[in-house]
Every structure is written in C-alpha cells, then in structure tokens.
Structure 1
Amino acid sequence: MKNETVLVTGASGFIAVNAIAKLLAKGYKVRGSLRTMARQDEVRAMVQATGQQDVSGLEFVEADLVNANSWKLAMQDVDYVMHIASPTPATRPDSADAMVEMAVTGVRNIYQAAYEEDVKRIVLTSASGAVLAGHKNHPEIFTEDDWSDLSSDLNAYQRSKTEAELAAWDFVKSHKMEMASILPVGVMGPVLGKDFSHSNQAIKDMFEGRMPFLLNLAFDYVDVRDVADLHVLAMERPKAAGERFLATSGDNISYKEQASFLKAHFGVKAKKVSTKVLPNSLVKIVAHFNKQLRMPASFLGQNTSCSSEKARALLGWQARSGQEAIIATAESMFDFGLIDEA
C-alpha cells in the first residue's frame, strides 16, 4: 500500500474523476480540490461509477484557482500534484483576458504552494488547443514541439490553455521543479453522470437532432480512461519529467465519419443523426452571429491531426481507438438516460 498523497485539482471534472479512480486503484491517497464542498458526495459517486468502489483513500479540500491561501492549505503533506482544474467556457468567463488571467493565476498559485511544500512532481493538464490553434498552414502532423500561435486570433479557451502552460514551464524552470504536461485532444469515453464535457455534448446533440447540419471538420479523439492512465504514467515514470505528451488515439475523425459510424452502430436509436455537411463559406457567415460556432469555425480548412508517438514510445502508453471512445460516450449517455429518444 502506497503512503503517498496526490492532490488532484478540479476534482469534479471528467478527466479528474477518472484520474482519481486510477490513483486510488494503485493505492495512492488522493486529496481532491473543489470550489464548493457541497459536491463531495457527487464526486465520490462518480468515482465509484468508474468501477473503483473503495473511496476510503479520497478526501476533499475547498480551493479556488484565484485564492492563493486556499492552495497553501490544500498542499500540506502532498507528494504529487495533478493540476487538472481549468476555467472553461461552460463554467468561467467567456472573455479571453479574464479566462487567461484566471488560468495563469491558478498555475502560479498552485505551483508556488507546491514549491513551498517541496512536491516531487506536478502533472499539468493542458490541451491540444495549446498546440494546434492558429496554424492555417501546417500540413504536417502536430507534435509536442508545436505551440499554438499566440499572435493569431485565438479563442479564449485555447489562449488560456497555451498561456497557462507556458507560465507553468517558466515557473518550474526558474524554481528547478519537476513537471510533465498532458495535452488531450477531444476527450470522449463513458460519462459518469449528468455532468460531462463540451466534447461529449456534441454526441448528445447529434442523437437529439440538434445538429441537422455538420461542419466540414475533423478532430482527433481520445478516451478519458486512457487520458487518466497517461496522467499516472507521467507522474510515476522518471522519463516523463520535463516533457509534454499529446493524448490522442491518433484517429482524426470528421463529423460526417462520426455520424456515419454512430448510425451504423446504433441503428434506429440514431434516426435523428444527420450526415449533411454545411459548406465552409456558410459556416463562416453564421459563426459571426453564433458564438458557439466561432471556435470550431476557426479550424475550417486546417489540419488537426496529432501524433501519439511520444507517449507510446517513451511511456509505453496505449490508447483505445477514437471510434471506440465515441461509441462508449454514446452508450453511457443512453445508459444514464441523458439522450432524449422521443
């Protein structure tokens, strides 16, 4: 039985819950940070929904990204940190400046507390949005050597992830700390309750007929269970220190391809799933009036394929296919009654 404690920030999040389950299964003690302690029972239930029934090694602490003092308390007697919490368009300000400031402030507060507690290593959850955004002319597959172009007109979320990761690397280099960053692509996989990620929302919308037309876009996808595995590997493996790792199945799947295999797999349940694709020119016009389309529309005509080679070669990581991850998302949504089949 391990006697080491891992602080997981943003414990109620999709990736965080799965990471907590993996850590508990390996015998770590886990301290999960929450912005409100009212969610403790909900998070425990979600962890158990992964199949990890024993949650006796899980405790919670109240902390917020912008409250430095809360992290000093949260960090006491912690050995490792998985900094997964991040402002998202669904939960935090939609202003680029406000979101960036919150994300960067969170990194600095958490990393300062970790430095003072002499934490062994921090694993930061960044995003592929810190790699592939703002690159209209990039035909090559994206790797960890790439960074999003901050001189371009980035969406608030992509800019916040990029600047927060840069701030994290600057901090650990100047303070001689150990860190690894994980950069997930579109995260799919079994949902664990009524809350799920914005990537999952697209699946629900497809089945409920709320996407009568699709964008001519393709993205890489990854299963949340594999993302959680990669976080643990990045925490434990000596070779991971100082490295970035793209978390991707390596499968670049268009919305039309996604719709087609969902219809084939689910049959009559997918009767409202559309395979009709909107012309790019029309999408760009509509995006001016629909802010939900602005981020995906920014990728029209751009390559978005990412490489999983580094995580596989350096850490021995293995991932399910993108199609398997997407189907698992839909199946779990039906299981929870989250998709209106009427």
Structure 2
Amino acid sequence: MFTEELERLAEAGRPVLVTGATGYLGGHTVARLLGEGIATRVTIREESGRDQVLAALRQAGVDPAGKLSFVTASLDDDRGWPDAMDGVGHVLHLASPFPLTPPETEEELIRPARDGALRVLGAARAAGAARVVMTSSFAAVGYTVKEDNHYSEADWTDPDTEGLPAYHKSKTLAERAAWEYAADRGGIELTVVNPTGIFGPVLGDRPSASAGLVRAMLNGDMPVVPVMYFGVVDVRDVADLHLRAMLHPKAAGERFLGVGGPALSFWTMAGILRERYPAVADRLPARELTVEEMTERARTEPSLREAATLRGRVPVIDNTKARSLLGWEPRDTARTIVDTAESLFRLGLARPGTGAAEG
C-alpha cells in the first residue's frame, strides 16, 4: 500500500514542501522524496542553502532530475510562504532551531520554534494543503521522569520540569501550540513525528550534534562518558517514517515515536565502535562516570547537567504504533552506529586507524 501511494504521488506531480532541507534529517528526506520520483520544493533562508541541499544530494547519489525547486522563506517572517505553499499537496515541516551551545535565554529557541510552526501551519491551511507532518522530538515526550520509565505517544514532557534544557522546552511548547492551532482552526490535517536521537550516514561536511558524538569518540575527544541512556534511530528510517505519516489515511491527528530499539548508553555505543574498529580502540572512551561523579561534575560542567538529572535511568520507548499502523520497520541500532562511523571515516571527519574502515 505504501509503495503504491508513493507511486501515485509521483505521478500526480503535485509537489511536497520540505522545510529545514539543509539539516541532517532534511537532506535525507529530500533525497528519499526525489529518489521516489516525487516533485519536491524546499524552503531556504538564503541562497547558500541551495548549494548545501544540492551538495547533500550529490553525496547521496541522487539526481534531482528537474523535480527539485527552491523558495526563499524564513520561520520568523511571513514573506515567501504563499509562494512556498502554492500548489503544494503535503508539507514536511522539519525545520527548528537546534543550537550546539546553550542559548543565553530560553526564548531564543522557544519563539522561533513555536512561531515558526504556527506560521507554516497557517500558510499550509491558507493554501489548501492536505496535511502537515511536523518533526517534534522525544524531547517533547519523555523528559519528565515517570516511575516506570515507560513512554508512548500518550506521554508529554512537562515544560515546567526542573532543569529541563531550553531545547526540550522549545520542542514541547512548539508541538503543543501546533496541536492547539489544528484543533482550534480546523481545515488542516496535522501529524507529528517524535524521533529519539538521530544517527546514521552523514551528508555534507558538518556532522549533526548526534553524529558529532560518534565523531568525538572516534577522534579521542571523549575519554570518559556519563552514564546516560537514550533512544537511537536511523536518519533514513526517520525520513521513511515522515513519508509514511504523510500518506497514511489514519495518520491524521496522530503522534508517532521514532526509535529503532531498546535505549543505548554512551558506554554501549563505545562498545559497538570498539568491536567494529579495534584499530581506534585506544581513542574510544575508557570509562563511564558514575551517577555520583556526574552530579559533582555537573556543578561546573553544564554539558553534564541533563545526564546528572536523569541519574542513569533507562527509558523504555514504545514504537509499536508506528510499526503496527504505518508498517514502519526501523534498522538495527548497532548497524546505525556503525553506518554513522563509516560515513565519518569516508568524509575524513574522523581519523581511521590501520584497517579502521575495512569490511
């Protein structure tokens, strides 16, 4: 059924609009759409974004074949959005600010995430688009601690949770605002995808925050790691989940958690890399910090505060809904970590040892 829906969409010729196409998930999503022969329009904030998207497609081995177009539009400005939405059937709203360093104020993240989502929804509704699929995050689902540590689409992060990072709060408030808009205004179908940590092959020369963790391990920049468990999902599978959520009739009004399997820890991730790449084993993390050590170090190291707050809990993240309703089948998470490393070696972003990138 899904393959047939993709074929019908390609034959119809009505473009799918993608925001955030210059990002990690965006690049893979555009590559997947074009690979399926689907007309794709992407929004860019400035002209350099065009070159970034095209470079990612070349790296992915995808020829746009005349099916890719660009429109200049920004999440903080109404201009450009009517043109972006003109004739569009579906919208994949992937764009949202994700800083590499904590912002000075929460509002620097919350405002563009929330207002940008509402701007995209409003423009899509005005243009008569059928559905908007919005990328949220597990950050909006599972960062308020539950006693049983089990999380499904029914769960929400409380934005007032003590110590909640600004990014997590921004994703929660932006998604809440989007659902409220869709319920209050009507006239537009909304579906939300909530992925966990996204890993997998890197496109371009700037690894994402998650792929950057693998890079840091391989390059010897993480001698120790915190005891912290998190969900992992392959970027290619998240792109696939977005397409399934875009086309399935029963996906309207639903959230879908994107996770590849049981939660991993940094230490487990290092073990996967150690087994696969023994030539760089001496660079990989040598030790896992205890909860007590994290708590002490977090007083002066902001990067450890989230891990210290979680205190080593192991979340159980349920992907049953995406599997059963949409037929989604994610890759094995260990394979995803290895594929991330392979791409970093191939691009020269991580230093291989003797035989590090061999079969």
TM over 0.5: yes
Residue number in structure 2 paired with 1:283:
294
Inter-partner Cα distance in structure 1 for 2:147 and 2:211:
27
Structure 1 portions without partners, runs of 5+? none
Is it true that 1:273 corresponds to 2:284 in the alignment?
A: yes
CA shift for structure 1 position 288: 2.7
Inter-partner Cα distance in structure 2 for 1:139 and 1:168:
29
Instruction: Identify which of 316, 323, 327 aligns with 1:316.
Output: 327
Inter-partner Cα distance in structure 2 for 1:114 and 1:17:
21
Conserved in 2, the CA contact under 8 Å of 1:182 and 1:247? Answer: yes
Instruction: Write out aligned runs for 1:85-104 (5 A).
Output: 85-90=95-100, 93-104=103-114
Is it true that 1:144 corresponds to 2:153 in the alignment?
A: yes
Compared CA separation, residues 94 and 299, structure 1 to 2 (3 A): farther
1:237-282 deviation line (CA, Å, top 9, x unaligned): 1011111000111221111111112111111133200240112222
Is it true that 1:214 corresponds to 2:263 in the alignment?
A: no
Q: What is the letter of the counterpart of residue 300 of structure 2?
A: F
Residue number in structure 1 paired with 2:196:
185
> TM-score, normalised to structure 2's length?
0.91
Q: What is the letter of the counterpart of residue 17 of structure 1?
A: G
Conserved in 2, the CA contact under 8 Å of 1:250 and 1:305? Answer: no
Instruction: Identify which of 277, 301, 311 aligns with 2:312.
Output: 301
Residue number in structure 1 paired with 2:272:
261
Compared CA separation, residues 296 and 193, structure 1 to 2 (3 A): farther
CA shift for structure 1 position 218: 1.3
Deviates most, 211-220 or 221-230: 211-220
Inter-partner Cα distance in structure 2 for 1:284 and 1:36:
42
1:28-59 deviation line (CA, Å, top 9, x unaligned): 21111112111212211212322322352111
1:163-193 deviation line (CA, Å, top 9, x unaligned): 0001111111112221110011110110012
Q: What is the letter of the counterpart of residue 51 of structure 1?
A: G
Q: What is the letter of the counterpart of residue 145 of structure 1?
A: A
Conserved in 2, the CA contact under 8 Å of 1:230 and 1:317? Answer: yes
1:50-88 deviation line (CA, Å, top 9, x unaligned): 232235211111221111223233222211110000011
Instruction: Write out aligned runs for 1:1-342 (5 A).
Output: 1-90=11-100, 93-135=103-145, 137-153=146-162, 154-176=164-186, 177-341=188-352
Compared CA separation, residues 105 and 38, structure 1 to 2 (3 A): same
SS of 1:69 mapped into structure 2: coil
SS of 2:323 mapped into structure 1: helix
Conserved in 2, the CA contact under 8 Å of 1:32 and 1:59? Answer: yes
SS of 1:32 mapped into structure 2: strand
SS of 2:184 mapped into structure 1: helix
Compared CA separation, residues 44 and 98, structure 1 to 2 (3 A): same
Inter-partner Cα distance in structure 1 for 2:128 and 2:269:
45
Inter-partner Cα distance in structure 1 for 2:271 and 2:193:
30
Compared CA separation, residues 203 and 159, structure 1 to 2 (3 A): same
Conserved in 1, the CA contact under 8 Å of 2:229 and 2:313? Answer: no
